Structure 1
Amino acid sequence: MRVFISHSSQPDSPRDAEYLNAVDTALRTEFEVLLDRKSIEANQEWPCELNAYMDECHVAVLLVSRNALQSDWVNREAAILAWRRALEQDFQLLTVPLGGVTRDEILKHGRFSAMELGRWQFIPSGDPAEVAERILTHCRAHAPQPDSTPMDQQVLKLSALLADSNHDLLCMAATELGMETAGWGARAHEKLARGLARRLADAGPDEQYKVVLALDHALDEGQIRRLLRGMEYLWVPAAAAGRIPPLVANVEKRSAIGLNGKRLLTFTGRNYVDRAYRGKSNRDFILIDSAIGQQPLQEITQQIEKYFESRDIRRDEISSYLESSRTHYFVLVPAPVPDLEVFDALVDQFPQLTFFFGTGLAGHDDPRVGMLPRLVALEPVLSPDLEHKAWSRQKDFEVILNNVSR
């Protein structure tokens, strides 16, 4: 079993470091511990290995000191881990308050409240040895199923796709990528397919393109299409996507989502939702025309009603249909953000829908964002360069697909 430990790289006191060391030491006696002890500064890029750790772990331990409450990095890790817990019933997320931080303080903290951490497991306080033993006991009692993590599932899915390909062509692709292909012995083809699958699953956007380019002569059109379909949304920052499912699931406190960017309707909004739900198909999108006039409430309402009418659902049937539907609908509304009265009316009129509001191009720079208590602006803010690069990379993938289909 793999256990990830999230912590602030700048502990408030030597006592906090004692807790980290005690938990690390206790868990290593029986489990594989995923822990990054490097200090990460606020202006440094997000380390890729952290995403891999959080995708591979079966249990996560969140050590929350006062510095951790203010840490951008811990906040991102908490969002990703809460996301996994929201989607996976068997995933264990253990929160440990340190240094006088209380459970209520974490749950009500502005940066953590939307994550619904209160729905998961809190470890009672005690000295470092006691807390470490409680965590170890919990981990012993929750043995995971084999191949149960998102990374495991992704590698299995990719391996199955690649295993149908010609062995020699896969060897050529692996050699082009600098991978060793000799001396694998029995089940060499299966090991080769899994090795390439792991390489692809671990890759960032640029590396993914390189791997797909190497594989294009080994896969047919259908295989390439399935491969690209599972990759097109992976550019979205996991910490931002991870905030979406807990917000959608919280029906008692209905919120809307704020997302910046240039291509909300045509590209970005869908990718964020696909990333949040790992490409599952039980969702649909209602795109609101950007040419909204002087009566935004009426015009947006009419466009939503028109969408359902085109699917033979009358205006007076929308609410009952949404109550029973297995599909969840996301409404993408371009900038600018509506005023408070219009915002509240829309969210209350359609409580079964999740609204995405465009909040600006380079950031959440629409001045109304701070005036809407129920609008959760996704963090980290979307970089215009990242959005453009992802959109351009999608076009590159389409070229690969077109070449294979000829």
Structure 2
Amino acid sequence: MAARIFISYCNGSDATRQLRNEIAAALSGHKVFIDELSVRLADDWRARIYHALAECHAVVFLLDSGALKSPWVRKEANIVLWRRALGASVMIIPVLLDGVTAPDIEAAGLAELLEVQHTRPARRGPAGGGGVVPEVVRAVSRLRVGGRRSSDPMQEWTSRVVEALATLDDGHLAVSADAFGAADGLAELPGRTAQLNYVAHQLLHQGIDRRACDTLARIKRGFSDEQRRNLIEEIIPTWVDGDAARLLLHGAADRRPVVLLNARLDRTARQYFERATCRSFSGYRCAVAGELVGEQSVADVSAALQAAVRELARLPPRIPIEEIVPPPGLSFLVVDPGGVPLPAVGPAIEALRRDFPWVNLIVLVGRAHPDEPTVRRWLPEAPYLLLPALAKDDELVAYQLVEDLVQLVPERMRGDVR
């Protein structure tokens, strides 16, 4: 069975394009996606690229100096690394060209491409083929296509969105495709299933905005009530930037830093979690250390955090917390300091991280995006990761957008949609 292979590269070098073509020719028995050859000028190329990356079995990265500076190579790397972090068996084959070294790749923020298990960089050399092409072919030959595939939450998320879109007639599907930037080339795809997948991929990667919300309002009668509810529930977290959300999954499970998010609503952090995990609740769990209030002591804050950890681990009420058994998969705890000053929260967070290293912490730090000295005043020891800043009104605009989407769901079915 032919594998789907994506070749990621920067289009600035003639030598790299030549190597790209040689690799594609050597893999002619497979379905190879190259943006310049696979996307017509009139197509929305972003939609085609998202679609190809979400469905491919392997990605070959041609890493010359131009690729290290390319925002689209970075975007492509983020999507495929995101799939792998969620457990998908997509193969990554990095090829170092033009004297590019591992430190160069690390400096470009793409070090994860060199940390992939079961693959290694193809032999470094000039962008002219040589031993590179056979190495890539050998790597691809190790793929096992067909039969039972490993869990792929990104694909499963897409399938749920496809199922919700399936009742739309062709006219409504075309309207939705236009709103989500996937209209060009939709009619060329072979069959309705491919078209539905195409629109779903674009919706999930591009994310919802006001135009998408207004379009759903226009075509809402094209859905059954249940499918409209299901679709809205699935797409709500897509307002969150995917590259930022993926950082929640970065690094080894027992060594992840404390994640700091400049937001005020715990539901914002939940939506980051759902975006990062592609709403895959198998193997992932999330709890909230409810809004803390008043001038609580460090001991009070620690007690509140431990109560949330008990909930996260489903620990029976009378069992001592020292007997806790870490649940399988990844566990996230959202900490909402509320009215408690962060200097009182910091020591409790550091103690929790030492006592329960399996808990991944997401801390809301308010609207401000704190600098290093500010963070270290209340979190002096724990490694931390400050997520890319939300702009001043992003959180409230997203809140309004989500509430408008929820209004499209029949009141009797809204439940906890949000």
Same fold (TM over 0.5): yes
Q: Indicate the RMSD between aligned Cα atoms, in angstroms.
A: 4.2
Question: Is the partner of 2:332 in helix, strand or coil?
Answer: strand
Deviation at 1:116, TM superposition (A): 7.9
Change in CA separation of 1:324 and 1:399 when aligned onto 2, cut-off 3 Å: closer
2:6 maps to 1:4: yes
Higher mean C-alpha displacement, 351-360 vs 63-72: 63-72
Deviation at 1:260, TM superposition (A): 2.4
Q: Is the 8 A contact 1:95 1:122 kept in 2?
A: yes
Residue 351 of structure 2 aligns with an amino acid whose one-letter code is A
* Residue from 397, 400, 403 that aligns with 2:408: 400
Deviations 1:321-341 (A, max 9, x none): 342455723233448765986
Deviation at 1:209, TM superposition (A): 2.6
Change in CA separation of 1:315 and 1:101 when aligned onto 2, cut-off 3 Å: farther
Aligned to 2:42: none
Deviation at 1:64, TM superposition (A): 3.4
- Structure 2 CA distance for aligned equivalents of residues 118 and 405 of structure 1: 43
Residue 279 of structure 1 aligns with an amino acid whose one-letter code is R
- Structure 1 CA distance for aligned equivalents of residues 46 and 375 of structure 2: 29
Give TM-score, length-normalised by structure 2.
0.72
Q: Is the 8 A contact 1:256 1:375 kept in 2?
A: yes
Aligned to 1:199: 199
Q: Is the 8 A contact 2:93 2:139 kept in 1?
A: no
Deviations 1:286-343 (A, max 9, x none): 23425464744x3332112223567653587435434245572323344876598665
Question: Is the partner of 2:137 in helix, strand or coil?
Answer: helix
Residue 117 of structure 2 aligns with an amino acid whose one-letter code is R
2:316 maps to 1:313: yes
Could you list the runs of 5+ residues in structure 1 that have no partner in the other structure?
38-45, 185-189
Deviation at 1:254, TM superposition (A): 3.9
Change in CA separation of 1:292 and 1:59 when aligned onto 2, cut-off 3 Å: farther
- Structure 1 CA distance for aligned equivalents of residues 405 and 4 of structure 2: 34
Give TM-score, length-normalised by structure 1.
0.74
Deviation at 1:225, TM superposition (A): 1.8
Change in CA separation of 1:288 and 1:367 when aligned onto 2, cut-off 3 Å: farther
* Residue from 364, 367, 373 that aligns with 1:361: 367
Q: Is the 8 A contact 2:93 2:122 kept in 1?
A: no
- Structure 2 CA distance for aligned equivalents of residues 386 and 54 of structure 1: 28
Q: Is the 8 A contact 1:34 1:57 kept in 2?
A: no
Question: Is the partner of 1:122 in helix, strand or coil?
Answer: coil
Q: Is the 8 A contact 1:255 1:375 kept in 2?
A: yes
Q: Is the 8 A contact 2:333 2:362 kept in 1?
A: yes
Aligned to 2:243: 239
Deviation at 1:91, TM superposition (A): 1.0
Residue 256 of structure 1 aligns with an amino acid whose one-letter code is V
Deviation at 1:356, TM superposition (A): 0.9
Deviation at 1:70, TM superposition (A): 5.7
- Aligned residues, how many? 377
Deviations 1:71-90 (A, max 9, x none): 55544443332221122342
Higher mean C-alpha displacement, 16-25 vs 196-205: 16-25
Deviations 1:60-114 (A, max 9, x none): 12333455556555444433322211223421112223344444x3786583457
